[in-house]
A and B are shown apart, each in its own frame.
Chain A
Amino acid sequence: MLRVGPGLAADFIFCPVVRSFSLQYLCLETMDSCDTPESTPRQRASSRLKDYFIGATPLQKRLESVRRQTSFVPTPPRRKIPQCSQLQEDVDPQKVAFLLHKQWTLYSLTPLYKFSYTNLKEYSKLLGAFIAAEKQKGLAVEVGEDFNIKVIFSALLGMKGTQRDPEAFLVQILSKSQLPSENREGKVLWTGWFCCIFGDSLLETVSEDFTCLPLFLANGAETNTAMIGTWFQKTFDCYFSPLAINAYNLSWMAAMWTACKMDHYMATTEFLWSVPCSPQRLDISYAIHPEDAKALWDSVHKTPGEVTQEEVDLFMDCLYSHFHRHFKIHLSATRLVRVSTSVASAHTDGKIKILCHKYLIGVLAYLTELAIFQIE
């Protein structure tokens, strides 16, 4: 495994390689078969002249503006840098501390049918009975397993982006203590929570009977996750699917999390690439001092408060070209597999670990967006 240590950061000379789309101006005499509503440059110029001199009719002007606006190529996304949201101020840091520093496996979940927040106790009992039954059936056989388990459903207050987002809730499986003492809390065996942060695009499309909580995070044994998934699918007619994060989204996360302002950095910024070669896979790990990464980002960043596609590409290209200068390896031909910053770390298999309480909502907002995209 090739490793680039933080020592390299000392002589971190980045060459801002400007990579913009080469929009070659092609003067085409004939229009090709794919009919585009966008007018050719010559037509646009002539119509502008027409407007100026002759005074085009309102209909012509309206047609021109419509033609210019509609283009079947969607514009690249612009995303907001995660900030401390208003609602997060209400969240007690102590209460959500157990969500941090834990590795969560991500799933996307379709809306739940006829889910009610008032029936949480009833759901706890039903799920507990289901799990006990499954374990007795011998489907999840673990030798010496204590059958005394307790399931707790609880609401997670404050874990939402806007007021419209449904309330997040938490499911925990605790092992019931054998001793009769009341004070002994059982050990937490499995934790899972459902949330929806800024899920407006999904909330608009579903009716009243459905509760939209597209993001599901699980920590614990895979067998428990499968059992609970089955119960939810049967009870609420929903569907779980594992949420994988591709290299494109990982590079967006890297840029957005590097852009977050931090008082002190807890961890180095680290990237992991997987090189597809035979017979054995090669992994390349690239670690940068977080302040250097932030300095690089600040030089690339232009519009305050927003992240654009060009900035993300430029940020990653700077890292690639620096690596290429030293090792003559094109990292852009490999696959980005893991990104780790002081804010959070994400793996392409859909595993996430959030390290910073301040940007918890911001990280979850992006993950919710990915989950909604997968559902649709």
Chain B
Amino acid sequence: MSVLRPLDKLPGLNTATILLVGTEDALLQQLADAMLKEDCASELKVHLAKSLPLPSSVTRPRIDLIMFVVNLHSKYSLRNVEESLHHVDATFFLGKVGFLATGAGRESHCSVHRNTVVKLAHTYRSPLLFCDLEVAQCFVGLSPGCGHGTAYQATLRQHPTCHS
């Protein structure tokens, strides 16, 4: 079983790689597209994965940031993220991991309680962002309701090499 380690490869010159892990393919694709459209000082690469561990047959650059996307409407996505977390090395959690909880805008559709995700992020000492990737508008801040743009900005701000 391969475990993701942050420093097992050499860094690419002026590039940053973000890995998005989540079960919702369409949402991840949308978020990745929005990220790539935005301006970034260095070259940005976004990898998408349904779950970890990643197949070892493919050569990929060093992963600089992992964002675990949990859909609050689906318990399955939460279980998937919980299982994927086992395949990440502990040293990754020193600021290279974040959690993104989507679907917080529509409270009536939520199967997962907000506090469950808050507790998960607290356990892993990583930041948590709430957003609604299905809604095109942009809401405020780090509490439930951001749009693509804000989620992307916050994600990038975490990463030291990207300044936007």
Contact = CB atoms under 8 A, between A and B. Distances in A.
Contacts of B123: 21, 23-24
Given A73-B118, A74-B115, A335-B73, A34 B125 contact: yes
A21 B123 CA distance: 9
Contacts of B116: 76
Contact of A246 (B75, B90, B108): B108
A78 interface: no
A348 B125 contact: no
A332 B119 contact: no
Contact of B111 (A28, A30, A247, A330): A247
B83 to A, nearest CB: 8
A333 B78 CA distance: 10
Interface string B105-146: 001111111011011101111010000000000000000000
A36 interface: yes
Contact of A28 (B23, B122, B125): B125
A32 B112 contact: no
Interface of B: 23, 73-77, 79, 82, 85-86, 90, 93-95, 107-113, 115-116, 118-120, 122-125, 127
Contacts of B108: 244-246, 348
**Interface class of chain B by DSSP:** helix
Interface of A: 19, 21-24, 26-28, 30, 32, 34, 36, 72-74, 76, 244-248, 251, 316, 330, 332-336, 348
Nearest to B88: A24
Given A28-B125, A248-B112, 7 more contacts: A28-B93, A32-B95, A73-B122, A246-B107, A246-B110, A247-B73, A334-B74
Contacts of B77: 333
A26 B125 contact: yes
Nearest to B127: A34
Contacts of B120: 21
A22 B81 CA distance: 11
